[in-house]
């Protein structure tokens, strides 16, 4: 398994708008080979910023890299810059390879 995580710093008072953007967009993920699951997580507010993280689980790194080069990726991210006023800085991408899996 391969996990990608984007961390977002959302300006206080913009949480509902941020969540609406994510809930209403078509990510096209379900059409991508190797996609396993997606979660948008809401964290704590501190110093006027609410933390969020998107977690996307992939079959493997190759599936994720294929997604980033796909038309589905381009379609899912079109218009992303129009929401820039919601954020306190750019999102931070982190990626993780599976070391152990229990199920």
Q: Tell me: the pLDDT tens digits for 42-90?
A: 999 999 999 999 999 999 999 999 999 988 888 877 766 667 889 999 9
Integer Cα distance of 61 and 44 in angstroms: 30
Q: What is the pLDDT of residue 25?
A: 83
Integer Cα distance of 33 and 70 in angstroms: 11
With contact defined as beta carbons under 8 Å apart, do 2 and 97 qualify? yes
Q: What is the pLDDT of residue 77?
A: 75
pTM for the model stands at 0.86
pLDDT digits (tens, 9 = 90+) for 9-40: 999 999 999 999 889 888 888 889 999 999 99
- Tell me: pLDDT of 103 over 90: no
| Average pLDDT for the chain | 91
78: left (phi over 0), alpha (psi -120 to 50) or beta: beta
Q: What is the pLDDT of residue 79?
A: 65
């Amino acid at each position: 398994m391969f996990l990608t995580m984007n961390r977002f710093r959302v300006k206080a008072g913009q949480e509902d708008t941020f969540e609406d953007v994510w809930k209403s967009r078509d990510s096209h993920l379900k059409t991508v080979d190797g996609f396993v699951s997606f979660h948008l997580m809401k964290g704590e507010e501190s110093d006027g910023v609410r933390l969020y993280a998107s977690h996307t689980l992939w079959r493997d790194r190759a599936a994720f890299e294929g997604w980033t080069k796909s038309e589905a990726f381009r379609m899912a991210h079109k218009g992303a810059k129009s929401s820039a006023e919601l954020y306190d800085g750019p999102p931070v991408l982190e990626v993780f390879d599976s070391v152990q899996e229990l199920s």
